[in-house]
Chains A and B, each alone.
Chain A
Amino acid sequence: MSKAPPYSLRRRLLWLLLGTISTLWLSTVIAVFLRAHDMADELFDAQLVQMAKSLLATTAAHPDAEPPALEAAAYGHAQALVFQVWRHDHERHQKRAALLLRSAEAPQSPLTEQSGFSEREWNGALWRFYSRHDENGRYEVQLGQQHDVRIALAGDASWRVLVPLLAGLPLLALAIWFAVGRALRPLRAVTMAVETRRPQALDALAVARTPREVQPLIDALNALFARIRHTLDNERQFTANAAHELRTPLAALKTQAQVALRADADESRKHALAHVVEGVDRMTRMTEQLLTLARLDPEGAALESQAGPPVDLGALATQVVASLRAAANARNIELTVAAQGDARMEGNPELLQILLRNLVDNAIRYTPPNGAVSVSIEDAGDGARLTVSDSGPGIPEAERERALHRFERLGNSRSGGSGLGLSIVARIAELHRATLSLSTATDGGGLSVAIVFPARRP
């Protein structure tokens, strides 16, 4: 199975937070730049108007004087500022303009044709011009200022904001790194708690003060532990029961073998050896049933998807009864089978055969000699009903539930059963979604086991 390498939540959070914060800061800086640019525009425009006014006033007062103040009126942006002062004469409806004054870089021709503010390319750069006339239109001042100055100012303002932010970024990254690490500490605690636990430990994880986000993980883990514990407990219980159940037949085998070894008379030796063989048979049967149960347990899911041809329960029962006829005859037990109606159903024929064999075998085993065992199959309307009744001692109502558990042998165990038969039957019935019920047989008074299989899907 291919699996993407694990990623670090801490690193991912760091980049995510840094990215978000940087983007936010960048937009702040852009906003600062735009606002500073606007303000620079207003400021410089006002300055241009002010300079134009004072130039006009100076020119009007001293038309022939050189205004030395203006050379210096560049406010540190001398290169970026040019001006011209024109005089307009109106003689016989003819306009004539004369350049009275200009700054060193200003050309001979007018800087702009428009009055008021205007912008255009000049000398390979963008310039802003301003033209203003005095009130009788005789003098005109034209000013030009390179636009770069305004951008420089806005840029300068933005830069001043940006520098501390950039300087703070590594600090911020460090702070995020540690904060996230700290926030993730409960996860580490859970990991540690899981890592350091002994493999056998299946009790609930105890982590002090878990955050709400981690609690579901712990809950899920604890639920898993509980499920595993339950399964293991069942297995352990089953193994323990199995071991105990095997001890008694083993003890019987050993004892009978020792008796045979020691017997002086042929007759008692034969008697003991026959019992040894009987004991081996019993252990064989028990082993087989244990294996059957072990095989049944994981088979549950397989049966669901299985859709073989319908199984004829009647035919199966007849077959099983025939194979057990000899055992019944040996104890002079009357064994009958009656199948009515259509008893075909969905299911696993091998498992159903095991179920039938266990039921009939149990009935024969627990019925005293000269008794009767009957197997009947009928259409119960909502499915097929299988009933196996005997004239044996039956099971008291209070003990019926227990009878379905593994290794529970009830009453006298002279029958030599393993205590597994009914639990196998119950398991197979469960796999077929059938309902199993124990009752007292109407005729014979023994045990009656009824299994109702669900109706065949049309």
Chain B
Amino acid sequence: MRLLLVEDDSLLGDGIQAGLRQAGFAVDWVQDGRAADAALRAEEFSALVLDLGLPGEPDGMALLAALRRRGLALPVLILTARDTVADKLAGLDGGADDYLVKPFDLDELAARLRALIRRSHGRQAALLAHAGVTLDPAARRVRVDGQAVELSQREFALLEALLENSGRVLARSQLERLIYGWNEEPESNAIEVHIHHLRRKLGSELIRTVRGVGYTIGATP
């Protein structure tokens, strides 16, 4: 799942990016509102982590208002040093889905993001499941018929993306964008390699190839 992080403080931004990557997210990081706006126009993200105190124009609240005006529905989590109830109300009523006050816990940030993304896909259950395969995004565990299976980070992300979009066919380029951040350029056949590994570990039935289009879990040909 790919996130956009907007945080002007370099140490904090670097830390959040590293921490969320450890939690299995693909994270793109920008340091001001203008760059965030450009990124949101160019790419598709599963969620936005937004610092309110941004330098220059637009600041966090203005950016949020603008993207909601444009009809962007992605989940937005505000990350800020302002902790008064009034600030929280302004943030949530301004279009944010969640609010976290600095300093925060990385695990909590990751959990909240998972919950936000889950709800944005209309799911209530924390687990992703299909045909005997269950994926626990929080514990980063995959089981096949109750048996734990070891997956690499990319394999896990790929499976998560396919399960998240089960019933839909995802193109290779779409999958690349979903599991790789900007400065993680994948090899040209990386997706094929990961799919191959997943099929070996989970059985060849689960992920189907749709010729000339991409891959899917659960879509009928």
A is bound by B: yes
Residues of chain A having any CB pair with chain B under 8 Å: 244-245, 247-256, 258-259, 262-263, 268, 271-272, 275, 278-279, 282, 409-414, 416
Report if B55 contacts A (CB, 8 A).
yes
In the complex, the answer to whether A247 meets B16 with C-beta atoms within 8 Å is no
Contact in complex: B15, A250 (CB < 8 Å):
no
**Cβ B81 vs Cβ A254 within 8 A:** no
A401: min CB distance to chain B, Å: 16
Q: How far is the CA of A410 from the CA of B32 in the complex (A)?
A: 12
Is there contact, CB below 8 Å, between A262 and B22? Answer: yes
Does A278 lie within 8 Å of B11, measured CB to CB? yes
- Measured CB to CB, the closest approach of chain B to A271, in angstroms, equals 8
- Name the one of B18, B53, B103 contacting A259, with C-beta atoms under 8 angstroms: B18
Interface residues as binary, B30-46 with A (CB distance below 8 Å gives 1, 0 otherwise): 01100000000000000
Q: A247-B103, A259-B18 are in contact. List 10 more A-B contacts (CB 8 A).
A: A249-B12, A252-B15, A256-B15, A262-B22, A275-B11, A278-B11, A409-B55, A412-B8, A413-B8, A413-B9
Q: A279 with B11: in contact, given A247-B81, A248-B81, A268-B18 (CB under 8 Å)?
A: yes
Please measure, in the bound complex, the distance between the C-alpha atom of A255 and the C-alpha atom of B82, giving whole angstroms: 18
Q: Is the CB of A255 within 8 A of B31?
A: no
Contact B55 A413 (CB under 8 A): yes
> 4 closest pairs, A vs B, by CB?
A255-B15, A252-B12, A251-B102, A251-B103
A262-B81 Cα distance, complex, nearest whole Å: 25
Q: In this assembly, does B136 line the interface, its C-beta being within 8 Å of a C-beta of chain A?
A: no
| Residue ID in chain B nearest A258 by CB atoms | B106
Whether B55 and A416, one on each chain, are in contact in the complex, defined by CB atoms closer than 8 angstroms, is no
For residue B182, CB closer than 8 A to chain A, the reply is no
**Contact between chains at B11 and A247 (CB < 8 Å):** no
A414 B10 Cβ-Cβ under 8 A: yes
| Docked pose: A411 CA to B56 CA in angstroms | 6
B32, A412: Cβ atoms closer than 8 Å: yes
Question: Are A250 and B55 neighbours in the complex by a CB distance under 8 Å?
Answer: no
Task: Check if B16 sits within 8 Å of A255, measured CB to CB.
Answer: yes
Contact across chains for A254 and B105 when beta carbons are under 8 A apart: yes
Contact: B55 with A255, CB < 8 Å? Answer: no
A362 to B43, CA, bound (A): 37
Name A409's closest neighbour in chain B (CB-CB). B55
Instruction: Give chain A residues whose Cβ lies under 8 Å from the Cβ of B106.
Output: 254-255, 258-259, 262
Q: Which of A249, A258, A268 contacts B11 (CB 8 A)?
A: A249
- Residue from A248, A262, A271 in contact with B19 in the complex, judged by beta carbons closer than 8 Å: A262
Decide: A259 near B56, CB < 8 A? Known: A249-B11, A279-B11, A416-B11: no
A203 shortest CB reach to chain B, Å: 21
Verify A263–B15 contact, CB threshold 8 A: no
Residues of A contacting B107 in the complex (Cβ-Cβ under 8 angstroms): 258
Does B14 sit within 8 A of A, measured CB to CB? yes
| Bound CA–CA A190/B56 (angstroms) | 51
User: How far does the Cβ of B79 sit from chain A's closest Cβ, in whole Å?
Assistant: 8
Q: How far is B107's CA from A249's CA once the two chains are assembled, in angstroms?
A: 18
Given A254-B103, A254-B105; A275-B15 close (CB under 8 Å): yes
Bound CA span A263–B82, Å:
30
Q: A263-B22, A409-B55 are in contact. Are A256 and B103 (CB under 8 A)?
A: no
Docked-complex contact B18 and A411, CB < 8 angstroms: no
- Which of B11, B31, B101 is A256 in contact with, Cβ under 8 Å? B11
Contacts of B82 in A (CB 8 A): 244
Residues of chain A within 8 A of B81, CB atoms compared: 244-245, 247-248, 251
A256 touches B102 (CB 8 A): no
Query: If the complex has contacts A259-B19, A409-B55, are A247 and B14 also in contact, measured as CB distance less than 8 A?
Result: no
Inside 8 A of B55's CB, which chain A residues have their CB?
409-413
B19 touches A247 (CB 8 A): no
- Contact at A275–B32, with CB atoms within 8 Å? no
CA distance A156 to B34 in the complex (A): 108
Cα–Cα, bound, A272→B22 (Å): 12
Nearest CB in chain B: distance from A365 CB, A: 13
Nearest CB in chain B to that of A261: its residue: B106
Collect the chain B residues with CB atoms within 8 Å of residue A414's CB: 8, 10, 31
The proximity string for B residues 75-100 relative to A, scoring 1 for CB distances below 8 Å and 0 otherwise, is: 00000011000000000000000000
Cα separation A282 to B15 with both chains bound (whole Å): 15
Known contacts A409-B55, A413-B55; is-contact A275 B14 (Cβ 8 Å): yes
Residues of B within 8 A of A268 (CB): 18
Set of chain A residues within 8 Å of B105, measured between Cβ atoms: 254, 258
Specify which chain A residues have a CB less than 8 angstroms from the CB of B10 in the assembled complex: 413-414, 416
1/0 per position for B58-71, CB-CB distance to A under 8 A? Answer: 00000000000000
Residues of B within 8 A of A254 (CB): 103-106
User: Which residues of chain A come closer than 8 Å to B22, judged between CB atoms?
Assistant: 259, 262-263
Q: Which chain A residue shows the least CB distance to B13? A: A252
Q: How far, in whole Å, are A253 and B101 apart by their CA atoms in the complex?
A: 15
**CA A366 – CA B127 in complex, angstroms?**
48
B14 touches A256 (CB 8 A): yes
Q: Closest A-chain residue to B22, C-beta based?
A: A262
- Bound: A279/B53 CA distance, A: 19
CB distance from B28 to the nearest CB of A (A): 17
Does the CB pair B8–A255 fall under 8 Å? no
- Residues of A near B16 (CB, < 8 A) are 255
Distance A190 CA – B19 CA, assembled complex (angstroms): 61
Identity of the chain A residue whose Cβ is nearest the Cβ of B79 in the assembled complex:
A251
Q: Which residues of B in the span 105-152 have a Cβ within 8 Å of any Cβ on A?
A: 105-107
B2-26, CB under 8 A of A: which get 1 and which 0?
0000001111101110110010000
Chain B residues with CB below 8 A from A255, complex form = 12, 15-16, 19, 103, 106
Contacts of B8 in A (CB 8 A): 412-414
Whether B12 lies near A251 (C-beta < 8 A) is yes
Closest to A272 in B: B18
**A271 closest partner in B (C-beta):** B18
A-B contact pairs, 19 of them (CB 8 A): A247-B102, A248-B102, A251-B102, A252-B9, A252-B11, A253-B103, A254-B104, A255-B12, A256-B14, A259-B18, A259-B106, A262-B19, A275-B11, A275-B14, A275-B15, A282-B11, A411-B55, A413-B8, A413-B55
Query: Complex Cα distance A450/B137, Å?
Result: 57
Task: Please indicate the chain B residues that have their CB under 8 angstroms from the CB of A411 in the complex.
Answer: 55-56
Chain A's closest residue to B51 (CB) is A248
Beta-carbon nearest neighbor of A243 in chain B: B81
